[in-house]
Amino acid sequence: MSQVIEKPPAIDRFRSGFSPTRLLSRWLLRAEWRAHPVRSLVAIIAIALGVSLGYAVDLINGAAFNEFSAAARSLSGASDLQIRGVQPLFNEGLYPVIAREKGVALASPILELDVTVPGQRSALKVLGIDVFRAALIAPDLIGVPDPTHPFDTLSDDAIFLSTAAQEWLNVRPGDQLALRNGTGTVNLRVAGGLVRAREGQRIAVMDIGAAQWRFDRLGQLSGVDLRLSPGVNREVFRRALQTQMQGRLQVQENQDQEDRTNNMSRAYRVNLNVLALVALFTGAFLVFSTQALSVIRRRAQFALLRVMGLERGQLLRQVLLEGGLLGGLGSLLGLLLGYVMAAAALHFFGGDLGGGFFRGVEPRVQVDAPAAGIFLLLGTGIALLGSLVPALEASRARPAAALKSGSEETALGRLATAWPALLCLMVGGLLTQMPPLFDLPIFGYIAVALLLIGGIALTPRLSALVFPVVQKVSGHSSVIWTLAVARLANVPGQASIALGGVLSSFSLIVAMAIMVSSFRVSVDDWLTGLLSADLYVRSATNGDTGSMRRGEQILLAAIPGVERARFSHTSTLTLDSARPPVTLVAREIDVSDPAQSLPLIGKNILPSAISSDALPIWVSEAMRDSYGYKLGQRVQLP
């Protein structure tokens, strides 16, 4: 109360009506921040962390997705539709059937390979094209040969690299480039660059016949780009061709690939954004804790201002202004920190944070003004929400009662009501049993929030029960301990606010630790059950040109000291153009006892129940959830 009495001129001007509100508001703000700078700083940092994480995720995914989409569109050029195999490759005998289809003006075959580069951790995307047809659909993909060798675009040993690929591999036109095919090496001559490629796009182009021969893909294609005749309805043609292909091929547009890529990266985006919201929730509760303790401490001061003429609405706006400034400053700091985090993540980890969704592109962070505005409003709004209850309490308190000493605890009496907390816990427990919504655990996220709110809301009641008991059983302890326990026991409301801030922060740390630990333990258990050998040998660490021929497998199994060698083959299946590809693993499995080589869970079909005209397959939980596969169901795989 001494801070108010020290400024009688301000009160006089307030009572005389001489523009008092702004002057009084600034005075109260400066006094509060000078009195408790650390508490305000902690609340600002908490808001900043939540905003920075959310804004960084938005910047990272936006930059990566936009760059990936632009790169994908540059590869398909001016095509209307793209034909892609359900498996990575399909028989080129389907190409003339597609090219002669009524309504097709031009068909350009493509062989797309992620080729292993010796000594590199990433694969090089190599496109085999028919230069004459590709020039009419995707002219940017045409190689630019040396003027003295104009026919290099058709040469069987020439390859053309984008500028980013040349810099990555440290080669120049005329140099030799060694690529991996199986366990052997393919030596190609860098014949030049491309007509145009996006900055950072690492791709290589060569003649399609040469690519098929050099990489043992004779008679196979990855896709066909189509340009339709004028007047042909693209959607009608697409559905008719898809029906005609009978599931052997996927007919899609650029938007389909963008949607699939967006869906693939959605999981990590949603989880990180939820983590940002949890951090914002923690910041909101810290703002609530800061403002509540501040209002309780200044309860008599506010009551004196009310007696001297300050209206309820003005006091309400003052407390909200204090909380809004904490949120606004925290949000601005978070936006700056988020931009720095996004730039660092894109530089060191890539646009997918190592997930492999946006391979072959190097996105650069750009300011997203609309997203920045949203996160600024979100951070400020969260802080205002945290200040709302203390502001209402300050404005509704009766001045006569608030001026009395010891009235602070009565302001927190409503916090001791237990039924709202118990209701949150009950509803949160019920929501944990709800199914996913739009393939996302929406109800699970709400349940976590309700359980956290319910647990924090119970702290006043728990404080009122626990601290008096601690005071009784502590006996004759030190003076500091006695005074501390006595205060906590007699003002449990204030203690519960401080405990709630600690609880909200600590719960975030514990949740992260449990999540990371559970993931690591699950992966370790899965690998232990699936990979039970002493050593594992792969022909390549990346790409899809690594393989071992039958003779090489025999030699590997005959090495002295090898008791048994089992081989496996991995490929991908695109069963749904809107969903990520499915990984198909072919390996030796004893049908009579599959649990010896597979980490099985749940029920299994007995060998006697397996039909002789079908092969058994075992699917993961993710496959079951995404495609609805059930035990005993008969399915057709391409």
pLDDT at 171 over 90: yes
Q: What's the pLDDT band for 179 if we cut at 50, 70, 90?
A: very high
The pLDDT of residue 218 is: 93
Both tokens assigned to 424: 């949150």
Q: Which of 45-59, 254-268, 586-600, 604-618 has the lowest mean pLDDT?
A: 254-268
Q: What's the rounded mean pLDDT across residues 196-204?
A: 84
The per-residue pLDDT for range 564-573, each reduced to its tens digit, is: 888 888 888 8
Higher pLDDT, 361 or 516: 516
Contact (Cβ atoms closer than 8 angstroms) between residue 494 and residue 407 = no
Higher pLDDT, 71 or 357: 71
Give the type of residue at 501. G
The per-residue pLDDT for range 418-472, each reduced to its tens digit, is: 788 889 889 988 998 888 877 778 888 888 888 888 887 777 777 777 777 877 7
The pLDDT of residue 211 is: 94
297 SS3 class: helix
pLDDT at 8 over 60: no
Q: What's the pLDDT band for 201 if we cut at 50, 70, 90?
A: confident
Q: What's the rounded mean pLDDT across residues 364-386?
A: 83
Q: Which of 4-13, 252-261, 504-513 has the lowest mean pLDDT?
A: 4-13
Report which listed range, 459-463, 585-589, 622-626, is most confident: 585-589
Distance CA 441, CA 453 (A): 19
Higher pLDDT, 463 or 563: 563
Q: What's the pLDDT band for 516 if we cut at 50, 70, 90?
A: confident
Q: How far is CA 334 from CA 107, 122, 330, 509, in A?
A: 50, 33, 6, 20
The pLDDT of residue 258 is: 67
The per-residue pLDDT for range 242-292, each reduced to its tens digit, is: 888 887 888 888 777 767 666 666 766 777 777 777 777 777 777 777 777
Residues 443-471 as b/e (b if ≥16 CB within 10 A, e otherwise) read bbbbbbbbbbbbbbbbbbbbbbebbbeeb
Q: What's the rounded mean pLDDT across residues 351-368?
A: 64
With a CB cutoff of 8 Å and minimum separation 6, the contacts of 606 are none
The pLDDT of residue 86 is: 86
Give the type of residue at 407. S
pLDDT at 190 over 60: yes
pLDDT at 2 over 70: no
Q: How far is CA 95 from CA 107, 134, 394, in A?
A: 8, 15, 77
The pLDDT of residue 192 is: 92
Q: What percent of the chain has pLDDT over 90?
A: 16
The per-residue pLDDT for range 391-409, each reduced to its tens digit, is: 777 777 777 666 666 555 5
Global model pTM greater than 0.75? no
Contact (Cβ atoms closer than 8 angstroms) between residue 543 and residue 182 = no
Distance CA 249, CA 84 (A): 6
4 SS3 class: helix
Burial class (CB in 10 A: 0-12, 13-18, 19+), 374: middle
The per-residue pLDDT for range 625-634, each reduced to its tens digit, is: 888 888 888 8
Identify the residue whose tokens are 């993909």. 141
Contact (Cβ atoms closer than 8 angstroms) between residue 111 and residue 221 = yes
Distance CA 3, CA 36 (A): 14
Strand partners, 194: 143
Contact (Cβ atoms closer than 8 angstroms) between residue 194 and residue 174 = no
Domain coordinates in residue numbering, the chain: 25-79+253-408, 81-252, 567-627
Can you give the length of the chain in residues?
638
The pLDDT of residue 212 is: 95
Q: Helices 299-307 and 254-297 sit at what angle, rounded to 10 degrees? A: 80
With a CB cutoff of 8 Å and minimum separation 6, the contacts of 276 are 50, 51, 53, 54, 57
pLDDT at 536 over 70: yes
pLDDT at 1 over 50: no
- Computed over every residue of the chain, the mean pLDDT equals 80
The per-residue pLDDT for range 145-163, each reduced to its tens digit, is: 988 888 999 999 999 999 9
The per-residue pLDDT for range 91-134, each reduced to its tens digit, is: 999 999 999 999 899 999 999 999 999 888 888 999 999 999 99
